Structure 1
């Protein structure tokens, strides 16, 4: 399997350029563009659910469309949302620690 040319990632790179102009005031996310999914731009926020929410709101992604789960260790919660934006698939991901009391309860449920 050959590696696609840089032009194959044109849509997410264009969206990233648009975001850097239009949303420069928002918290900076971790960015991911990959040859594996050349039409996908992932914005991830580590220990910053407020950053995730700021971007979700700015992009007009409905709160009801956000998925939530806790990783199998019971200590990390994950918010995820996807949308199409200017010809690219956009994925927002937010990670945060589960409060200690919830983590203990979640771990006990997994273990039983």
Structure 2
């Protein structure tokens, strides 16, 4: 079986081109384009939920549309959200450490 032509990835690549012109001021994400999901552009942010949030807002994704889960035995939080852009599906992913319980408690005590 032969590999798909680069043209099979037109939708996410055109979305990326649009984003590079329109959102050049936003934090640069890690990019993902794959022949496995040829209509998807993935923008991921590692240890940078502020970057995730900036892109979420710029793309007009409602906060209520963001999914939250944890992985790595509860040590890493993961935010995901999706939207459309032209013919592409844009998937945002944000990863960040879950604060240690002692660290979270000390923050709560400092607020009081």
Unaligned runs of at least 5 residues, structure 1: 103-112
Equivalent residue for 1:18?
Answer: 18
SS, match of residue 80 in structure 2: strand
| Distance apart, 1:37 and its partner CA | 0.7
TM-score by length of structure 2 reads 0.88
Secondary structure at the counterpart of residue 25 of structure 1: coil
Count of paired positions: 103
How far did residue 72 of structure 1 move? Answer: 4.0
- 1:16 is paired with a residue whose SS is helix
Partner of 1:80: 80
Shift of 1:2: 2.9
* Partner residue, 1:41: 41
**Off by >4 Å, runs of 4+ in structure 1:** none
- SS of residue matched to 2:53: helix
- The corresponding residue for 1:56 is 56
Aligned residue for 1:92? 92
TM-score between both structures, scaled by the size of structure 1: 0.88
Kindly state the Cα deviation for residue 73 of structure 1 after the two structures are TM-superposed: 1.6
Structure 2 residue runs of 5 or longer lacking an equivalent are: 103-112
Q: Does 1:3 align with 2:3?
A: yes
Aligned-residue RMSD, C-alpha: 1.4
* 1:86 to partner: Cα distance: 1.1
